[in-house]
Amino acid sequence: MTGALSYDVFVADPIPQNVTELVPNGDKREFSPLSITMVAGERDAVLVDPPMTMAQTADVGEWIDASGMNLTHIFVTHGHGDHWFGAAELAERFDAKVIATAGTIEQMHRNLGMRELFWDALFPGQIPITDVIAEVAPHDGIDLEGHLLKIIEVGHSDTDDTSVLHVPDIDLVVAGDVIYNGVHQFLRESHGDGIDSWLGAIDAVEALRPRFIVAGHKDKSLNDDGARAIEETREYLIAAARLLRENDNALDFFNAMLALFPSRLNPGALWGGATALYA
């Protein structure tokens, strides 16, 4: 007989990027909020997607400490540095093992390779020096006090080789960047058939019928209603695909998307995607 599972989310607030050029709507460039999820049993816990900067990692360390839980694993859903650069530090502090799929580990190496040109340029001196210490996750998933946490590979979503963590016992999916919640979606890697692949990844999450979804980037004032987050993430991509066809430059595309999705956080993320897709 095992006790019930629960989950909790730490949202790291947006931080400024080292970019002087403003977003066309007048916003300063910033990074979207980050969701760090803890799935907890009675004593042990699994952390999903540790944050990026040293300051965020220290805050999450305090949060884990205050929970009193024994961290056994840190699972990384995909290779983008904002979901794992702090992993090694937390793994050492809490004596936990970092795991990810083989595909994600490959993408982690790719992100480490571009840290100087991309990540350190955006956040100079703020990202910890780190190696990729993740090991390939067991194929059937993670055992948390007798409950199975399933790792589901969904392929390309907002980057290549992405995965989600399904916790059937509490109807939860920790979705990384496959599902967004009230935040502009990262379209920089959505060229070619990227949007179609992402829509397929959303279908794979929907097939799990999760009541709750933690999106990797969420507006913390919103709930984790799974059906709503799935629908809104899909709607955003379908609109983006149409508006990419209808507009021949990044600014018109950006303005058209912003008119459709005025309340999502961080239009700068949309602008970053727009400039890349029209480059």
Nearer to Zn ion, 29 or 147 (CB): 29
The β-bridge partners of 164 are 152
**Distance separating alpha carbons of residues 218 and 184, to the nearest angstrom:** 9
> Whole-number minimum distance, CB 187 to Zn ion, in Å?
12
Least distance between Zn ion and beta carbon 111 (Å): 11
Quote the least distance from Cβ 252 to Zn ion, whole Å. Answer: 26
Residue 161 interacting with Zn ion (CB under 5 A): no
Contacts of residue 66, Cβ cutoff 8 Å, sequence gap at least 6: none
Element (H, E) at 121: helix 120-122
Q: CB of residue 32 vs Zn ion: minimum separation in angstroms?
A: 7
- Residue nearer to Zn ion on the CB measure, 186 or 261: 186
Site residue total, Zn ion (CB under 5 A): 4
Give the per-residue contact string, 64-103, with Zn ion (x = CB under 5 A; - = no). Answer: ----------------x-x---------------------
Concatenate the DSSP letters of all residues of 55-76 into one string. Answer: HHHHHHHHHHHHHT-EEEEEE-
Nearer to Zn ion, 144 or 174 (CB): 174
Using CB under 5 A, which residues numbered 194 to 253 contact Zn ion?
216
Q: Does 177 participate in binding Zn ion (rule CB under 5 A)?
A: yes
Minimum CB distance to Zn ion, residue 81 (Å): 9
C-alpha distances out from residue 192 to 163, 198, 256, 257, Å: 21, 11, 21, 19
**Which residues lie across from 48 on neighbouring strands?**
37, 75
Q: Which is nearer to Zn ion, 82 or 161 (CB)?
A: 82
Q: What is the CA radius of gyration of the chain?
A: 18
* Beta pairing, strands 162-167 & 147-155: antiparallel
Looking at residue 204, its amino acid is A
Contacts of 273 (CB under 8 A, 6+ apart): 185, 186, 187, 188, 190
d(CA 146, CA 155): 28
Other beta carbons within 10 angstroms of residue 104's beta carbon come to 30
Shortest Å distance, C-beta 83 to Zn ion: 6
In the complex with Zn ion, the residue whose CB is nearer, 215 or 256, is 215
- What's the rounded Cα separation, in Å, for the pair 103 and 25? 37
Query: Using the rule CB under 5 A, is 189 a contact of Zn ion?
Result: no
Minimum distance of Zn ion from residue 194's CB (angstroms): 15
Residue closer to Zn ion (CB basis): 80 or 264: 80
Instruction: Kindly tell me which of 119 and 261 has the beta carbon lying closer to Zn ion.
Output: 119
Stretch that binds Zn ion, among 125-133, 174-182, 192-200, 203-211 (CB under 5 A): 174-182
Q: Which positions lie near Zn ion, rule CB under 5 A? A: 80, 82, 177, 216
